Amino acid sequence: MGLPIEPLEQAAFFVRPAANALVGPGEPVYMPQGDGLDWEIEIGVVMGRRMRHVSAQEGLRGVAAYAVTVDMTVRDLVAVSAAFKTDLFRGKCQDGLSPIGPILTPSVFVQEPQRLRLRLSVNGEMKQDETSSDMLRPIGELISEASRYITWERVIFSSPEHLPAPAESRGDFCVPGTGCTRKSKH
Q: Please report, for the chain, the start and end positions of each structural domain, with discontinuous segments joined by +.
A: 22-184
How many residues in total does the chain contain?
A: 186
pLDDT tens for residues 60-113? 999 998 888 888 888 888 877 767 777 777 888 777 777 777 778 899 999 898
Q: Which residues pair with 128 in a beta bridge?
A: 120
**Which residues are within 8 A (CB) of 67 and not within 5 positions of it... i.e. 6 or more apart?**
43, 44, 45, 46, 100, 101, 103, 104, 105, 178, 179
CATH architecture of structural domain 22-184: Alpha-Beta Complex (3.90)
3 pLDDT higher than 50: no
- Full-model pTM: 0.78
